[in-house]
Amino acid sequence: MSSIIEIKELTKRFGKRIAVNNVDFNIQRGEIFGLVGPNGAGKTTAMRMLVTLLKPDKGEILVGGYSAQKNPNDVRRLLGFMPDSFGVYGDMTVNEYLDFFGACYKVHPHQRAQLISELLDLVDLGHRRDDMVDTLSTGLKQRLGLARVLIHDPNILVLDEPASGLDPRARVEIRELLLEIARLGKTILFSSHILADVGELCSRVGIIEDGKVVAIGTLQQLSERVMPHRQLHIGLLERKEEAQAALASMQGVNEVRLLEDGKRVFLEVDFVGGDEDIHSLLASLLQQGFPVIHFSEETKNLEEVFMRTTKGIVS
């Protein structure tokens, strides 16, 4: 896979404060990449430099091979940017709003009506096309924002907190919409505080804190760095203590805890080994007649990854 975005030593200061500090990362073509970090980490500043709205103090940004500093117009053609706030265009209809941006991007008037219909279909807003933008809910405005960034058919979408302020249903809908847009072949970079969204969507995640990228990788890689062992949850109908003792002596098992989460009692196993070893462990339990009713691996503990990474445990 080739990198469509290459960021090297990117740095931006505001007065004495370093908002983005020597940041390096690449994004592959077709990837959904999540930039996660606490408030003030530098996500918006990094994105604004990438989309040529802000000049870096140092470093290089290449988008599709074009330099954001030297060829900003080529970069803008390839990118669609959705900022974290919606802007002040509430006083027009949904249709007029998209038509306005289509004109800004010089989409030919003959093609614009057709394109707008297609985009409204994509984001499921066709039924609101004649409503004033102001009257849309936050979730619908976000969808309209996505339609807007697609109007010049960019290869890459840069979305600053696309799911912020949305209720759970609207978040799931935005998530599904982003997956659909990715299936159209677009590369997506988005920032979020909502770790669940990142976990569900992204091929890779970069964790940024205090202007620096403190960890980068697939969710699996990040989890492994924070928790080098794997964790299994095993539920049993009965003989739980006996199973705990049996598991403790099995190969690859570091520790077994008997836990209760309110509804049920289960065993939590810290385990080092591959998938084959996990299979052997389960086979051995069943062979010994233990009545297993639940067996799963806990991997996507993204909150844990985030909390521990941003406390500087992983560097």
Instruction: State the residues that interact with Mg ion by CB under 5 A.
Output: 43-44
> Of these partners, Mg ion, ligand ATP, none, which one is at the site of residue 310 (CB under 5 to 8 Å by kind)?
none
Min dist CB 214 to ligand ATP, Å, is 13
Task: Answer for the pair 84, 164: CB distance below 8 angstroms, yes or no.
Answer: yes
Stretch that binds ligand ATP, among 42-50, 70-78, 194-202, 257-265 (CB under 6 A): 42-50
Binding partner of residue 42 among ligand ATP, Mg ion, none, CB under 5 to 8 Å per kind? ligand ATP
Among 5, 7, 42, 56, binds ligand ATP (CB under 6 A): 42
Smallest distance, Å, CB 191 to Mg ion?
6
CA distance 103 to 157: 19
Q: Which one of Mg ion, ligand ATP, none is in contact with 125 (Cβ closer than 5 to 8 A by kind)?
A: none
Q: Residue 17, interface with ligand ATP (CB under 6 A)?
A: yes
8-state DSSP, 69: T
CB of 47 to ligand ATP, least distance (A): 8
How many residues touch ligand ATP under the rule CB under 6 A: the total is 11
- With tokens 């500043």, the residue in question is 45
Cβ proximity to ligand ATP: between 53 and 104 the closer is 53
Q: Give 54 or 250: the residue with its C-beta nearer to ligand ATP.
A: 54
* Helix H or strand E segment including 185: none
Among 2, 14, 135, 258, binds ligand ATP (CB under 6 A): 14
CA distance 1 to 62: 16
* Helix axes 168-183 and 109-122, enclosed angle (nearest 10): 130
- We find the least distance from the C-beta atom of residue 40 to ligand ATP, in angstroms, to be 4
**CA 100 vs CA 106, 140, 224: distances in Å:** 10, 18, 48
Rg of the chain taking only CA atoms, in angstroms: 24
**19 is a site residue for ligand ATP (CB under 6 A):** yes
* Of the candidate residues 4, 23, 36, 43, the single one contacting ligand ATP (CB under 6 A): 43
301 touches ligand ATP by CB under 6 A: no
Please give the full DSSP string across 213-266, using - where no structure is assigned.
Answer: EEEEE-HHHHHHHH-SSEEEEEEESS-HHHHHHHHHTSTTEEEEEEEE-SS-EE
Q: What is the dihedral of CA 91, 97, 101, 102, to 10 degrees?
A: -150
Which is nearer to ligand ATP, 47 or 305 (by Cβ)? Answer: 47
Q: 182: closest CA among 207, 206, 162?
A: 162
Question: What is the dihedral sign for C-alpha 124, 128, 130, 133?
Answer: negative
Query: Is residue 37 near ligand ATP by the rule CB under 6 A?
Result: yes
| Complex with Mg ion: residue 41 or 120, whichever CB lies closer | 41
Instruction: Report the nearest approach of ligand ATP to the CB of residue 198 (Å).
Output: 13
Query: Binding string to ligand ATP for residues 45 to 84, with x set by CB under 6 A, is what?
Result: x---------------------------------------
- 29, 76 in Cβ contact below 8 A? no
Exposure b/e, 280-293, CB count within 10 A at least 16 = b: ebeeebeeeebeee
Interaction of residue 40 with ligand ATP, rule CB under 6 A: yes
Contacts with ligand ATP by CB under 6 A lie at: 14, 17, 19, 37, 39-45
